[in-house]
Amino acid sequence: MTLKPKPKKSSRKKASPSLRFPKGMRPFISDEVYHLLAEEYGPAPWAPRHDGVSELVACILSQHTSDLNSEKAFETLVRRYPTWQAVIDAPTPEVVDTIRNGGLAQQKGPRIQEVLHRVLDLRGEFDLDFLKRLPLDEAKAWLKQLPGVGPKTAAIVLCFAMGMPAMPVDTHIYRVSRRLGLIGPKVTADQAHDLLEPSVSPAQVFPFHVYLINHGRRVCKMPKPLCGRCVLAHRCPSRLEEPAIG
């Protein structure tokens, strides 16, 4: 008996699932999402949280931990050291111990000292207000030259400390914008910053950021969104089979 050779497995990868828009449904654009969420969540006025360097340090502390833990670590750090120069001059193990309640202190302590030292080398002071006077792309590029500063951290500093129209993309914003089809399924979180930011007017960037975060936390949750409560469900290609409100 002759054995038949087993058929070779195809080397082609299965295509990633894409969003399916029912026939006749027009995809959302960001401006429409902005206005519907503005009606749902109300005004989102901007107010500075910290100065630029403080925001930068707070952002490093917030990586891979909860807001509560990072805020405690930041408060402990600024309470122990009266100036950023004092943080640079402190023994690294001491800084690590100071921010231990923020998580990943062994990595974050040296990184904070390194970033502060680099800011001082480049500017001669701990003041980043000069970024407000730069075009947005130049301000981002300046921040991203700092050790470990990527698109999200740069956008957070420019948005929350400077009031510039930079769009930070966190996990909530990334999830909601993908589910709505505002960005494609293969777009990375880093790429999403540059796609979502120009999709609304500069004046809308900060509130759009706030609205998407609120929606991701309250309604468009992970793993199961509350589609029956969603003001966007009527045209959302990812909605579950639940009745939409309205």
- Asked whether residue 6 is assigned to any structural domain, the reply reads no
Cα-only R_g, the chain:
22
Residue 3 confidence (pLDDT): 45
What CA–CA distance (Å, rounded) separates 110 from 198? 35
Its domain, for residue 110, covers 52-161
Q: Same structural domain for residues 73 and 118?
A: yes
Q: Same structural domain for residues 157 and 180?
A: no
Quote the pTM value.
0.85
- Asked whether residue 8 is assigned to any structural domain, the reply reads no
CATH number of the domain that residue 86 is part of: 1.10.340.30
Q: Same structural domain for residues 64 and 153?
A: yes
Q: Are 116 and 87 in contact (CB under 8 A)?
A: yes
Residue 10 confidence (pLDDT): 41
What CA–CA distance (Å, rounded) separates 113 from 72? 18
Q: Which of 146, 161, 176 is a domain's end point?
A: 161
Q: Same structural domain for residues 174 and 156?
A: no
Q: Same structural domain for residues 77 and 155?
A: yes
Angle 220-186-62 from CA coordinates, rounded to 5°: 55
Q: Same structural domain for residues 70 and 153?
A: yes
Alpha carbon distances (Å) from 156 to 47, 119, 210: 13, 17, 12
Residue 49 confidence (pLDDT): 87
Q: Same structural domain for residues 128 and 223?
A: no
Query: Using CA of residue 99, residue 102, residue 103, residue 104, what is the dihedral sign?
Result: negative
Domain total in the chain: 2
Let me know if 134 is exposed, middle or buried by CB neighbors in 10 A (0-12, 13-18, 19+).
middle
- Asked whether residue 5 is assigned to any structural domain, the reply reads no
pLDDT 10s per residue in the chain (246 long)? 444 445 444 443 333 344 555 566 678 999 999 999 999 999 999 998 899 999 999 999 998 888 899 999 999 999 999 999 999 999 999 999 999 988 899 999 999 999 999 999 999 999 999 999 999 999 999 999 999 899 999 999 999 999 999 999 999 999 999 999 999 999 999 999 999 999 999 999 999 999 999 999 999 999 899 999 999 999 999 987 554 444
Residue 66 confidence (pLDDT): 87
Q: Same structural domain for residues 61 and 154?
A: yes
Q: Same structural domain for residues 38 and 58?
A: no
What CA–CA distance (Å, rounded) separates 47 from 226? 30
The two three-digit tokens of residue 246, written as one number: 């309205």
CATH number of the domain that residue 213 is part of: 1.10.1670.10
Query: What DSSP string describes 80-117?
Result: H-SSHHHHHHS-HHHHHHHTGGGS-HHHHHHHHHHHHH
Residue 19 confidence (pLDDT): 54
Listed residue (79, 64, 75, 90) closest to 148, CA to CA: 64
Q: Which of 115, 131, 161 is a domain's end point?
A: 161
27-55 in b/e burial notation, b at 16+ Cβ within 10 A?
ebebeebbebbbebbeebeeeeebebbbb
Q: Same structural domain for residues 60 and 110?
A: yes
Q: Same structural domain for residues 135 and 199?
A: no
- Asked whether residue 13 is assigned to any structural domain, the reply reads no
End-to-end CA distance of the chain: 69
- Asked whether residue 228 is assigned to any structural domain, the reply reads yes
What CA–CA distance (Å, rounded) separates 157 from 168? 9
Q: Same structural domain for residues 125 and 153?
A: yes
